[in-house]
Amino acid sequence: MNDTLTSDVIGRRVEVNGEHATVHFSGIVPPVAGLWLGVEWDNPERGKHDGSHEGTVYFKCRHPTGGSFIRPNKVNFGVDFLTAVKNRYVLEDGPEEDVNEQIVIIGKKPVEAIGFDSIIKQQSQLSKLQEISLRNCAVNCAGDRGTIAKACPNIRKVDLSRNLLSSWDEVLDIADQLKHLEVLNLSENKLRFPSGSSSRTGTFPALKVLVLNRTGITWAEVLRCASGWPVLEELYLKSNDLFISERPADVLQMVKLLDLSSNQLIDENQLLLIAYLPRLEQLILSDIGISSIHFPDAGTGHKTSMFPSLQYLVVNDNQISQWPFINELDKLQSLHALSCIRNPLTEGSKEAQTTRQLIIAKIGQLKTLNKCEILPEERRGAELDYRKAFGNEWKKAGGHQDPDKNRPHEEFLRAHPRYQLLCLKYGAPEDGELQTQQPFLLKNQLLTLKVKYPNQVDQRVLEKQLPDSMTIQKVKGLLARLLKVPVSEFLLSYESPKMPGREIELENDQQSLQFYSVESGDCLLVRW
């Protein structure tokens, strides 16, 4: 870059030794002669000052050490889109192809063309491209009008993350030439977006996935541009300091996945503004600092009309510490999968397995928790344990085995919205189940179980005492030694007098007898 720059450089994105910055000043900085560029670094630790020098303010920075003055010849202003594509994707011809000659007719005169085959080959390579990644390739503009459409007409997926694009207009100049574009990643480009209703927002007729992480976009700008994304299905807006200020009206209606992670200004009231996106199936809210949520249209035990299609919710790395948050999630009519790791509620003193069981019991339609499938027997065990664990509290609140007398007070029902339903499903807890638990002693954790062999009529029925914490694998090992049968041949299940006629398979060797809700008096069934 020469030393005769004009004011056109103001606002341009530049790269210097791998670090990105925005130009805010171009001119003389006395007493040193020559032209200087004043830049604000994306990484403020890279700078030296706030845009001032010897008491004179040349430009302003958001951080006191975010600015520097740099000579223009040290700065990379980047390349156009097609140049970056050729640099990365066009194969160089070998020496034997470089000397290839061909006679072509220009007008009526034959002309000898050297390397003509190489040009045709390059054009063919580019025209076949459908997916390209230009991450960190210093792309700053579209280049000459129409050149992208002519050279790369079939591109469908583009990664333009961490480049030198400085405005939405530059993005439009590229996208307007890619009529089949379905996936576009613009993350880590500090973009200026349209600010007024008359601004150019553009249209992306085929775009289904748009990634705008760390671009500095605001919620108002999202809604202003969204009219140009008529078929968009996935929108990623991570780390933009978003504040959801208004409800989407006639935009984002096709969106199925929305990622709002790491936007610390978002709270539960703002989330209600996006609660009626009709097709939203996945909502990612990791690391937004949320601690509570409430659906005001639904009372205890009822489903909300909000987020009608939401199937998968991610709330990892937040401040969730109270069970009412989980209770509210049971109101979501379509929720089947939840991820909520690294929250105070799940990282506290209670065992992870106990917390998992409580969440399963509280959200009735959940099929996957923290990316782990909830099997029917795990749900049954979790719900039975929950029913037993809070049985005494239920009775004190007015619960009763007689349905006509079963009227627990409102405070209990708010804390345990599904408890009454579990009583209908499994029957009200009996007094014998609700005895106060004794102090932890091994004898109190031993289960007295019968052991039968349905396929071996000559084997007598055994009675064994086993710790409820014993894994299925260790139970099989014990039985293998007793019966002189290889562990690999065992099939283990159990039946309970509380569920006559039903047999439950013990299929996970790593789980304990307690996990499957095996109790004293139950019968292990061993087959080989």
Closest CA to 102 of 88, 84, 89, 120: 120
The parts of the chain modelled with pLDDT lower than 70 are 1-7, 91-124, 197-199, 348-351, 435-445
The half-sphere exposure of 253 on its side-chain side, counting CA atoms within 13 A, is 6
What integer pLDDT is reported at residue 435 of this predicted model? 59
Q: State residue 512 phi and psi, 5-degree precision.
A: -95, 170
Give the number of other CB atoms < 10 A from CB of residue 231: 12
List the chain domain ranges. 12-74, 79-92+111-253, 378-431, 442-527
Cα-based distances in Å from 310 to 260, 263, 470:
15, 20, 39
Query: Nearest 5 degrees, angle CA 27-CA 31-CA 34?
Result: 40
Alpha carbon distance 243, 431 (integer Å): 52
| Bridge partners, 22 (sequence order) | 13, 40
Alpha carbon distance 185, 157 (integer Å): 9
Identify the CATH homologous superfamily for domain 12-74: CAP Gly-rich-like domain (2.30.30.190)
Cα-based distances in Å from 100 to 91, 95, 105, 120, 123:
16, 9, 17, 12, 17
Is 521 in a helix, a strand, or coil?
A: coil
What CATH number belongs to 442-527? Answer: 3.10.20.90
What integer pLDDT is reported at residue 198 of this predicted model? 55
Q: Which helix (H) or strand (E) holds 504?
A: strand 503-505
Q: Which tokens sit at 271?
A: 């989330």
What CATH number belongs to 79-92+111-253? Answer: 3.80.10.10
What strands lie across the sheet with 282-284, from one edge to the other?
Answer: 131-133, 157-159, 183-185, 209-211, 234-236, 257-259, 282-284, 312-314, 337-339, 368-369, 372-373
**Contact between residue 479 and residue 491 where contact means Cβ atoms under 8 Å apart:** no
Alpha carbon distance 307, 394 (integer Å): 31
What integer pLDDT is reported at residue 139 of this predicted model? 97
DSSP string, 456-477: -TTSPPEEEEEETT-BHHHHHH
What integer pLDDT is reported at residue 79 of this predicted model? 95
Alpha carbon distance 348, 360 (integer Å): 17
